[in-house]
C-alpha cells in the first residue's frame, strides 16, 4: 500500500536552488565536502581541520531529532508517490517535489550534527588496516543509512540508534580490508563472535577455552568452531625479514602502543569538550562536586571528606549529590553525546 504524503511545515529549512540540486547530492553536501576541501593538505592537518570544523556544529536535542525525522519521513512518502505516479495535478507534483527538497535539507542537518558521533566511534578502531579518515568515511556511510532507517515513533534517541549502524559500517569495512586472503563478510563476523566468546571464557575459566566450550557458549557445532579457529589464525614470525636484502624484520614495525597518535590526542580533546558541555548542563554544585571528585578541577581526585569540607556538608551528603549528578549525566537530554565513548 502506498503511503500518502501529507504536506508539513518546512519553512525552517532552507530550500536548495535548482543549480544546487544539479551540482551536488545531499550526501556530498553533508559528509564529503569538508574532507574533500582538505584532501591536498598533509594528513595530520586534514584530520585536525576536519575535527575542528565538525566540532563547530551544534548538537541536537530530542525535539530537533524528531522534527527532522518527521520531515525526512514525509519526503520518503512523497518520493514513493512520485515513483508510483500517484499524483493528479501539476500543483500536487510541485508540493511533492518541495517535500523532497525539505527532506534533503533535514538529512543534511541531521547528518552534520552527528558527525562527531562517527568520530568518537571511529577512534576506537585506530590501529586497524584502515586509516583514521577512512574509518570516519565508512562510519559516515553508516550514519547516512541510519538517517534513512530511523523511526522516531519508537521513542529512541537518534544517536543511540545510529551508533549500531555506524559501528556495523566500520567493522564491515575493516573485515573486508584486513586480510590478505579475503574472507566473506559473514565469515569475518562469525570470527569476531568467536573471539568475543574466547575472551569471555578466558575471564571466567582463567585459561584458554577448548573448542567444545566455545561451541557450547556460541550455540553452534564443534565442527564450525574448528573451522572458524582455522580461518582466524594468521601466524607470522616477527623475525621474518622485510625484504630479500635481509635488512630489518617485521617485529621492528610494531608500534609503541603506549604512545598517543595525533588522531588519538584530537579525539581525547573532543571527548573532553563533550564532557565539559555535559557538565555545564548540571546545577553548579553538582558540577563542581563532580569536577573535584574526578580530578577535573586541579588534576587530583578529591575524597568525599575533602569535597564535603569544601562545601560544608557531610561525607554522606556529598556521596548523594555525586550519585544524583551522575544520574543526570546518564539521561538522554544531557549525556546522549557521551554514550558513544562508553560503547
pLDDT digits (tens, 9 = 90+) for 223-261: 888 888 877 665 444 555 555 555 555 555 455 455 555
Average pLDDT over residues 126-140: 85
Is residue 101 pLDDT above 70, yes or no?
A: yes
* Half-sphere exposure (Cβ direction) of 54: Cα atoms closer than 13 Å: 30
**Is 311 exposed, middle or buried, given 0-12, 13-18 or 19+ CB atoms closer than 10 A?**
middle
pLDDT at 197: 83
Is residue 54 pLDDT above 70, yes or no?
A: yes
* Higher-pLDDT residue of 83, 60: 60
261 φ, ψ (degrees, to nearest 5): -85, 165
56-89 CB burial, b ≥16 within 10 A, e <16? eeeebebeebbbbbebbbbbebbbebbeeeebee
Contact present, 300 and 121 (Cβ < 8 Å): no
Residue 341: pLDDT band (50, 70, 90) is low
Separation of alpha carbons 266 and 51, rounded Å: 8
The Cα angle at residue 121 between residues 118 and 122, in degrees rounded to 5:
80
Residue 281 corresponds to which cell in the numbers above? Answer: 548542563
Q: Model confidence over 288-335: pLDDT tens digits?
A: 888 888 887 777 888 888 888 888 888 899 989 988 888 888 877 776
Percent of the chain's residues with pLDDT above 90 = 13
| Distances, alpha carbon 36 to alpha carbons 30, 40, 46, 49, 197, in Å | 12, 8, 9, 11, 40
DSSP-based three-state secondary structure for 249: strand
* Higher-pLDDT residue of 144, 270: 144
The total of other beta-carbon atoms located within 10 Å of residue 272's CB is 11
What mean pLDDT value characterizes the chain? Answer: 75
Residue 185: pLDDT band (50, 70, 90) is low
Classify the C-alpha dihedral 289-290-294-300 as positive or negative: negative
User: CATH 1.20.120.1810 in the chain, residues?
Assistant: 18-177
Q: Which architecture, in CATH terms, is 181-233?
A: Orthogonal Bundle (1.10)
Q: Model confidence over 21-50: pLDDT tens digits?
A: 444 444 444 445 544 544 444 445 678 888
pLDDT at 243: 52
DSSP-based three-state secondary structure for 120: helix
* Higher-pLDDT residue of 320, 274: 320
* Higher-pLDDT residue of 187, 142: 142
263-342: CATH topology: Arc Repressor Mutant, subunit A (1.10.10)
User: CATH 1.10.10.10 in the chain, residues?
Assistant: 263-342
pLDDT at 163: 92
CATH of region 18-177, choose from 1.20.120.1810, 3.40.1440.10, 3.30.200.100, 3.90.1640.30 = 1.20.120.1810
Contact present, 90 and 74 (Cβ < 8 Å): no
pLDDT at 38: 47
pTM of the model: 0.47
Amino acid at each position: 500500500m502506498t503511503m500518502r504524503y501529507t504536506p508539513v511545515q518546512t519553512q525552517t529549512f532552507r530550500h536548495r536552488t535548482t543549480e544546487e540540486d544539479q551540482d551536488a547530492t545531499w550526501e556530498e553536501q553533508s559528509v564529503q565536502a569538508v574532507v574533500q576541501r582538505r584532501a591536498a593538505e598533509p594528513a595530520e592537518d586534514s584530520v585536525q581541520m576536519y575535527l575542528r570544523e565538525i566540532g563547530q556544529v551544534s548538537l541536537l536535542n530530542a525535539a530537533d531529532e524528531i522534527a527532522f525525522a518527521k520531515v525526512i519521513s514525509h519526503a520518503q512518502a512523497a518520493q514513493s508517490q512520485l515513483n508510483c505516479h500517484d499524483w493528479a495535478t501539476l500543483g500536487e507534483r510541485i508540493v511533492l517535489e518541495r517535500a523532497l527538497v525539505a527532506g534533503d535539507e533535514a538529512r543534511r542537518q541531521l547528518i552534520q550534527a552527528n558527525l562527531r558521533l562517527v568520530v568518537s566511534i571511529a577512534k576506537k578502531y585506530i590501529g586497524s588496516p584502515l586509516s583514521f579518515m577512512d574509518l570516519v568515511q565508512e562510519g559516515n556511510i553508516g550514519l547516512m543509512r541510519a538517517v534513512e532507517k530511523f523511526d522516531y515513533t519508537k521513542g529512541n534517541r537518534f544517536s543511540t540508534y545510529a551508533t549500531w549502524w555506524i559501528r556495523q559500517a566500520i567493522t564491515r569495512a575493516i573485515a573486508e580490508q584486513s586480510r590478505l586472503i579475503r574472507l566473506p563478510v559473514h565469515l569475518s563476523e562469525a570470527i569476531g563472535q568467536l573471539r568475543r566468546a574466547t575472551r569471555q571464557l578466558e575471564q571466567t575459566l582463567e585459561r584458554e577455552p577448548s573448542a567444545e566450550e566455545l561451541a557450547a557458549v556460541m550455540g553452534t557445532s564443534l565442527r564450525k568452531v574448528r573451522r572458524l579457529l582455522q580461518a582466524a589464525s594468521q601466524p607470522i614470525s616477527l623475525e621474518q625479514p622485510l625484504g630479500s636484502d635481509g635488512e630489518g624484520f617485521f617485529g621492528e614495525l610494531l608500534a609503541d602502543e603506549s604512545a598517543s597518535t595525533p588522531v588519538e590526542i584530537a579525539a581525547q580533546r573532543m571527548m573532553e569538550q563533550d564532557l565539559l558541555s555535559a557538565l555545564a548542563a548540571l546545577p553548579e554544585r553538582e558540577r563542581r562536586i563532580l569536577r573535584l571528585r574526578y580530578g577535573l578541577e586541579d588534576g587530583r581526585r578529591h575524597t568525599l571528606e575533602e569535597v564535603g569540607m569544601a562545601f560544608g556538608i557531610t561525607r554522606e551528603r556529598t556521596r548523594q549529590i555525586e550519585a544524583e549528578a551522575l544520574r543526570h549525566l546518564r539521561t538522554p537530554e544531557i549525556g546522549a553525546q557521551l554514550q558513544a565513548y562508553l560503547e
